C-alpha cells in the first residue's frame, strides 16, 4: 500500500507532496484509522532508551526539518516514532528560500533541499506544541533568522530556547545547515562557545533540566571534529547529533551528479550520505572517547545503516529521507533491532 501511495505522491512537487502526505496521515491518525491507509501497519515498539537522563519510548525519532512547524505531531506519534524534533525554529517567522527548493533524486534514494529555515516563528509554533500527544518525546531544533548577523546569533538561539523551555523535552542547536549563509561558521569553537554558554547558563537557572544537543555537519575535517568534540564537552551540553546534510556531490554517481547540478545548491541527504555520515560518526566517537553520547541522523535508509551506527554505540536513530523512500515500516524495523538489549 505504501508503495502505491509513494508512486502517487511522487507525481507532485516534493514540497507539496510532503504536506499532502502528512496531512492525510494526520487526519486518519486523529481517528485511530491509520491501518485504513497503511496496509500492514504495525503498532509502536515500546523499548525505552535512556539518553542524557531522558527516557525515550524507543530508539527511532523523526529528524528536524520534517515537521518544521509542529503540524503533524499526532501523525508522527501514531506512526510509531519515539520522539520528534520540530523546527528548525527561529525567533521571527521567515519564508525561507525561493521555491522550488526541494528536489528528489529517486535513482539515488536522495533529496536535495535548500529550504532556508522556513518556519512560522517561535510564538505561533509554541502554541501548537502545547497539545502534543501524551508520551511523545519532543525536541526543539534551535536556529537563527537569516538576517541576524553572526555576532548576534546567540541572542536568537537563546530566545527560542526561552520560549520553548517549559514545553519540550530537549533542545538541539543547529549550526550546520548549509542553506543559511555563513551558518556553518558557527561550528568554530569561538562562535560555538558564544552560542552554547548562554544556553547552559539559562538552563542552570531553571527548576527542570532539559538536555541540549548539537547537530553538526558531515563535511567537517578531522581537525574540526576534534575541535567540536572538545568544545562540546567543555560547554556542558549533553550530546551531539551526527549529521546534517552535505554539500558534497562526489558521493553521487555521474548521472545523479548531472541532475544535482541542474537542481543547484542545497544540502544532500539520503543513501549517498550514509557512508560519509557513518565515517564522521566513527571519528567523532573516537574524539569524544565516551565523554558524550552521539545520536545518528543522516543516511538512515534501512536496517543495515541503522545497525552499523548501533554497533558503534549510538543509542538513538533519527529518520528523514529514509522515511520518505521506505515509509512507516522502517520505523518499526529499526525500533525492533536488539529489543531489550541496547546500550544507553
Residue 139 pairs in a beta bridge with 85, 170
What does the buried/exposed string (b/e) look like for 17-27 if buried means 16 or more CB atoms within 10 Å of the residue's CB? bbeebbeebbe
Alpha-carbon span 144 to 148, nearest angstrom = 7
Alpha-carbon span 28 to 23, nearest angstrom = 9
Known active-site residue 235: no
**Contact at 8 Å (CB) between 115 and 88?**
no
Alpha-carbon span 30 to 50, nearest angstrom = 29
Alpha-carbon span 133 to 249, nearest angstrom = 39
Q: How many helices (H) and strands (E) does the chain have?
A: 13, 13
Closest CA relative to residue 14, chosen from 63, 60, 64, 65? 65
- Catalytic, out of 29, 159, 176, 177: 177
Rg (CA), the chain: 19
At 50, give phi and psi (nearest 5°).
-100, 120
* Positions marked catalytic: 177
Amino acid at each position: 500500500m505504501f508503495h502505491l501511495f509513494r508512486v502517487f505522491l511522487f507525481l507532485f512537487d516534493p514540497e507539496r507532496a510532503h504536506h499532502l502526505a502528512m496531512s492525510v496521515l494526520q487526519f486518519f491518525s486523529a481517528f485511530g484509522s491509520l491501518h485504513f491507509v497503511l496496509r500492514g501497519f504495525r503498532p509502536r515498539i515500546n523499548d525505552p532508551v535512556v539518553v542524557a537522563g531522558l527516557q525515550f519510548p524507543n530508539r527511532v525519532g523523526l529528524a528536524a526539518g520534517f515537521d518544521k512547524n509542529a503540524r503533524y505531531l499526532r501523525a508522527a506519534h501514531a506512526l510509531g516514532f519515539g520522539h520528534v524534533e520540530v523546527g528548525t525554529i527561529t525567533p521571527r517567522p521567515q519564508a525561507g528560500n525561493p521555491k522550488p527548493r526541494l528536489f528528489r533524486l529517486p535513482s539515488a534514494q536522495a533529496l536535495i533541499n535548500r529550504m532556508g529555515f522556513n518556519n512560522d516563528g517561535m510564538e505561533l509554533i509554541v502554541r501548537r506544541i502545547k497539545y502534543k500527544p501524551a508520551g511523545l518525546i519532543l525536541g526543539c531544533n534551535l536556529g537563527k533568522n537569516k538576517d541576524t548577523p553572526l555576532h548576534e546569533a546567540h541572542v536568537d538561539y537563546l530566545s527560542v530556547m526561552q520560549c520553548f523551555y517549559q514545553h519540550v523535552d530537549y533542545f538541539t542547536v543547529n549550526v550546520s545547515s548549509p542553506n543559511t549563509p555563513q551558518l556553518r561558521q558557527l561550528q568554530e569553537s569561538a562562535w560555538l562557545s558564544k552560542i552554547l554558554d548562554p544556553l547552559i547558563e539559562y538552563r542552570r537557572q531553571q527548576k527542570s533540566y532539559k538536555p541540549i544537543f548539537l547537530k553538526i555537519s558531515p563535511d567537517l575535517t578531522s581537525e574540526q571534529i576534534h575541535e567540536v568534540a572538545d568544545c562540546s564537552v567543555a560547554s556542558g551540553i549533553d550530546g551531539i547529533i551526527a549529521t546534517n546534510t552535505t554539500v558534497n556531490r562526489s558521493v553521487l554517481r555521474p548521472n545523479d551528479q548531472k541532475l544535482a547540478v541542474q537542481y543547484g545548491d542545497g544540502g544532500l541527504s539520503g543513501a549517498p550520505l550514509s557512508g560519509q555520515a557513518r565515517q564522521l560518526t566513527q571519528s567523532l566517537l573516537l574524539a569524544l572517547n565516551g565523554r558524550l553520547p552521539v545520536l545518528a541522523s543522516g543516511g538512515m535508509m534501512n536496517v543495515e545503516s541503522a545497525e552499523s551506527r548501533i554497533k558503534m554505540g549510538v543509542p538513538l536513530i533519527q529518520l528523514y529521507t529514509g522515511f520518505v523512500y521506505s515509509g512507516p515500516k522502517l520505523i518499526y524495523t529499526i525500533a525492533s533491532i536488539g529489543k531489550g538489549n541496547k546500550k544507553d
